[in-house]
Amino acid sequence: MTTENSFQGFQWTYFADLSPGPVKQRADLFLSVVDWDQLRFYASGKNYGVDCVLLPHIGLGYNHMVRVLEFVDGTRWIARLRMPSLDGSTSDGASITKEFTTTSLVKSVTDIPTPFIHAIEPKCHHLVKASFMLMDCLEGNVGMDLGMEVPSDRKTSFFNEMAHIHLIHQDIDSNLSAKVQLSTIRLPMIGTLLGKSPDGTFVQGPIPGIGGPFHTAGEYFHAWASNAKFGMDSNRLQAACGPFANEIIPSVEGFKDAIQGLAESFSVANNGPFPLCHGDFGHNNIVVDDQYRVLGVIDWECAFAAPWEVFAEFPLTLSMTPAKMDAPWNYDEQGNPKDEELLQKVLDQRHYVEAVRNAEAAAEIRGEQLLSRSLQDSRRQHLIAAMRLFDSGKPGWYGKLVDVFLEGEKP
């Protein structure tokens, strides 16, 4: 990671480029409702009374609006404000609290660069009219600002830095009093981080939509299979499947039962402690300067201690639909993608595995449970990817992945 920053300016164009629709309507309404002067006064109070102005940049994520506060001494903070959900529901404040707790943990025990958080308001502030957090401003851009592309001449260095970050939050101990070595972020149960207990250990809580905390990976997979919902309604699924509906729909409908049956034997590490998973790790949440050097990892609100296989999935930057569940006409007779973009993703995954392997060697990480090895365990990788795609409503031949996994379990 770099200490020198090359920065030509924020490239926050997503908000300005929004087409008419629910997302734009929500953002415009939120922009008009927030009392931005009160936000400035609040920030000034948290910075020893130093005056600040609001810069014109408007950043937009799935659930957040981002603004830049510049103080008269030149210091800049980011205000990250939580918007209501598209269905109109508001947050209970738990996500901001969890993000603060997790970011504080990561910052205290690793060298993963994260912005310092100056203040949080988990519930809607009565004057600002929004819940928010204030943090140091990292003068760079994330993947969404950069077209989600990594320039080919920057991939090697970027993958190396991303691999280093992936390895670091492999293993944090729950008794956190000092900096730990590279392979040592682990927590006793599978679940989110709610706060710190008086003895300094972290209190863990349920994972939204799944439950917990869980004592074993098997419990987690059972709970996922009991609670997961396919992210597309039946009518849309029928239409999306077209002439293959008779194959795909039963495959989708049987996937949860299949995971239920595999739950106890799926993980290579059924018992804890468990690694900390960012929950949305990829280019979209990595701030880089103009040379694609990593400045920080942001948006830890989805983080949780996870089964090893969930932690060891490829970063979202490199994720793709497993070939077995994808449309077969996308691949040639040798199983290689016909599409150049898909083929490049396959090559990028291989380069990332090599970057992880090099990082493990440099850190002298050895043993059976290696990140590089798990990234190449396609049977488990593909099922974990399928669980994520199931949640998002991706049609596909899920049953084929289950068959491949079961075939590999045979003696």
Domain residue extents for the chain: 22-137, 148-409
311-358 tens-digit pLDDT: 999 999 999 999 999 999 999 988 899 999 999 999 999 999 999 999
155-186 tens-digit pLDDT: 999 999 999 999 876 655 544 333 333 234 78
Q: Work out the average pLDDT over 383-406.
A: 97
CA 113 to each of CA 73, 138, 362: distance values in angstroms, whole numbers, following the listed order: 24, 10, 19
Which long-range contacts (C-beta less than 8 Å, at least 24 apart) are formed by 50-55? 50/75, 52/77
CATH C-level class of 148-409: alpha beta
Please report the pLDDT score of residue 8 as a whole number: 85
Six token digits for residue 189: 């149960």
Please report the pLDDT score of residue 4 as a whole number: 52
Pairing of the two strands 76-82 and 131-136? antiparallel
What single-letter amino acid sits at 262? Answer: L
Please report the pLDDT score of residue 182 as a whole number: 29
Please report the pLDDT score of residue 201 as a whole number: 80
The pTM for the full model equals 0.90
Say if residues 226 and 218 touch (Cβ distance below 8 Å).
no
CATH C-level class of 22-137: alpha beta
Of 76-85, 140-149, 320-329, 337-346, the least confident = 140-149
Question: What single-letter DSSP state applies at residue 214?
Answer: B
Q: CA nearest 375: which of 231, 166, 168, 229?
A: 166
Please report the pLDDT score of residue 90 as a whole number: 66
255-266 helix and 245-253 helix, angle to the nearest 10 degrees: 40
Please report the pLDDT score of residue 371 as a whole number: 93
Of 8-22, 117-131, 180-194, 207-221, the least confident = 180-194
Confidence of residue 85 (pLDDT cuts 50, 70, 90): confident
